[in-house]
Amino acid sequence: MTDFLSGRAYTFSTADKEEGGERIIYLDAVWLLNLLMDGMILSLTQGITRAKSSKTRMIAGAFVASTIVPITIYMPDSWLVGSFGKIFFSMFIIWVAFSYTSLRAFFVQWISFYFITFAIGGSMMGVHYFLATEISLQGGSIVTFSGGYGDPVSWLFVVIGFPCSFVFTKWRLNQVSVHKMKLEDIYDVTVEWNGRTAHCKGLVDSGNQLVDPVSRKMVFLADSFLWEQFFSKEQLQQLEVDHVVTALADLPDDIQSSVRLVPYQAAGVTGQLLVTLLVDKITVKTESGNLEMKAPLLGVQQQDLTHDRLYQMLIHPHLMVKGKSA
């Protein structure tokens, strides 16, 4: 049974007697099934909202949530079965399962609990429908029927669906967190060099403290997306460090005058050289105005900085402090 008004999801396991055609509800099996499903829903709610809780509170919350099964069966006329009772009951579940920090956090947890329950309830209905399981509507709730100790579809959903949903949700939350963190530090960037202009997206790299030891200029880093706006692919290949070291004289005069080799250390490896160009200006567009850095060094990265091309430049963090507002 999936009760969409209360945000509850549970299944009645029934069997027909040979005489009288009565339906028998195996309460212990149904209660266990819904206890597991409630635990899954609360775990996903905690993962989405990052709510503070403990194993004891989560187990207690799942147990309280599962008590709606005997209440619905033995007290169908109880006020808890009504709309107001369902709202109160779902709030009580959240209060038991998670530590109270603020009214806003409580409301977000409550809404997320409903959202996840509706999503899982809809998935259950879809699976039941796909497998041609008997479904009927009773008292505003969706009821599925099967023989024996529990609906095999529901048990399969809990045994297989819970681990998969938990792992997938945790992975997606981590991805969203990283993506959000990146977006907060990504800006539109304009690079001017030798009378030409290139545009790209730049990420403020707090770990980038690279400066030229001779000129003390900040070193930025850009990948091929930006450099191809200045050079052809053949010219860009000539800017590989081995070629610059051995055949710098073969480069055009405007490139020769701009090239600087900057020593750097990466992943514990010392003695590396980075090919950089002395560009005219880098401009970073921010909400509070444009930040400019004149005559910085821009490193040449032949590969993409990120596989999704979310950004194409690593911005030196000191620019955000020392850059001149325009």
| Tens digits of residue pLDDT in 103-131 | 888 888 898 888 877 776 655 555 555 55
Average pLDDT, the chain: 75
Give the rounded distance of the alpha carbon of 5 from its chain centre. Answer: 29
Query: Is 185 among the residues known to form the active site?
Result: no
Q: How far apart (Å, rounded) are the C-alpha atoms in residues 213 and 180?
A: 34
| Coil vs helix vs strand at 260 | strand
| Tens digits of residue pLDDT in 185-219 | 788 999 999 999 999 999 888 777 889 988 999 99
Structural domain boundaries in the chain: 21-133+143-182, 186-324
| Tens digits of residue pLDDT in 143-182 | 444 444 455 555 565 566 556 656 665 666 565 555 554 5
CB 37 within 8 A of CB 175: no
The backbone region for 295, taken as left when phi is positive above 0, alpha when psi lies in -120 to 50, beta otherwise, is left
Q: How far apart (Å, rounded) are the C-alpha atoms in residues 149 and 292?
A: 70
We find that the CATH architecture of domain 186-324 is Beta Barrel (2.40)
pTM value > 0.85 = no
In the numeric block, which tokens belong to residue 108? Answer: 């977000």
pLDDT category of residue 229 using cuts at 50, 70 and 90: very high
Mean pLDDT across 308-315: 86
Q: How far apart (Å, rounded) are the C-alpha atoms in residues 102 and 158?
A: 32
pLDDT of 260 higher than 80: yes
Inter-CA distances, 262 with 180, 235, 245, 274, Å:
32, 20, 12, 5
CB 293 within 8 A of CB 308: no
**Burial class of residue 229, CB neighbours in 10 A (0-12, 13-18, 19+):** middle
pLDDT of 256 higher than 50: yes
| Coil vs helix vs strand at 144 | strand
Catalytic annotation, pick one of 3, 38, 151, 205: 205
Inter-CA distances, 238 with 3, 29, 195, 249, 262, Å:
67, 71, 21, 11, 17
| Coil vs helix vs strand at 261 | strand
Q: How far apart (Å, rounded) are the C-alpha atoms in residues 170 and 177?
A: 11
Q: Report the percent of the chain where pLDDT is more than 90.
A: 23
